[in-house]
Chain A
Amino acid sequence: MKELVEFIARSIVDAPDDVKVEEEITEEGLTLKLQVADEDKGRVIGKQGRIAEAIRTLLRVKAAKAATKVRLEII
């Protein structure tokens, strides 16, 4: 899961070295916390959150295959 988010984020930001993803396992499943440089925040969120939503959709495919749930937070 983490690698998928890292790959997408690093491919669309200006500062790929500042991309960090932390995993947190809770009762409800997995939470991924994506951190990017301040100037890149807009790039991973997108207009009306469209990019973040697309990343979540792809994560759901992977989660469904693993029969688990995943949340993505951009911090």
Chain B
Amino acid sequence: MEISGNKKDTAETARDILEALLDLMGVSTVVTPVAEFTTDGDEGAEPTITLDVRGDDPGILIGRRGQTLSCLQYLVRIIVGHQTQEWPPIIIDVEGYKRRRFEALQALANRIAEQVKTRGVPFALEPMPAFDRRIIHLSLAGHPEVTTQSNGEGEMRKVVIQPRE
């Protein structure tokens, strides 16, 4: 993936801001830029800045259902946006937590798709946050036999995998 000079600067700004925040939060960590995983095969998409945090207490940084991590990511995006006037997609991960979740959800999507294909009946997954639902939709976007759809409101919103008409 080509990373333009400008993008590189934004990536560095993002890393500096994340490091400053973690330092002020009193957690000792190491931040490393890693290869993006969320837009795999998503051609033409803007390259994502992906930063992985390693430290002595990953659990506290992830928080309940990843809530602390998503707040951290949100604030880094706002600060980077305000300072550079650019709004690139930024993903912050903790010790590969999101990457593993991404892979697990992809595997789940494919497994359920097989089942829906064989049995011919729709299957509703557990309620999930938007980021997770997006992974399911993207994983099955090009599937010849099934389609996906989100139903329900707020925290109860879930993906339904159904046979393609």
Contacts and interface: CB of A to CB of B under 8 A. Distances in A.
Contact of B74 (A4, A43, A54, A66): A54
Nearest to A3: B24
A4 B67 CA distance: 18
B130 interface: no
Contacts of B83: 11
Interface in B122-149: none
B31 interface: no
B27 interface: yes
A50 B74 contact: yes
Interface residues of A, number: 21
A74 interface: no
Interface in A16-47: 43, 46
A62 interface: yes
Given A57-B68, A61-B60, A4 B25 contact: yes
B105 interface: no
Given A11-B17, A11-B83, A64 B60 contact: yes
A53 B24 CA distance: 17
A64 B26 CA distance: 11
B60 A58 contact: no
- What are the 6 tightest A-B residue pairs by CB atom distance, in nearest-first order? A54-B71, A57-B71, A4-B24, A11-B79, A12-B82, A62-B25
Interface of A: 3-4, 7-8, 11-12, 43, 46, 50-51, 53-55, 57-58, 60-62, 64-66
20 contacts: A3-B24, A4-B24, A7-B21, A8-B75, A8-B79, A11-B79, A51-B74, A51-B78, A54-B72, A55-B75, A57-B68, A58-B21, A58-B68, A58-B75, A60-B68, A61-B26, A62-B24, A64-B60, A65-B27, A65-B60
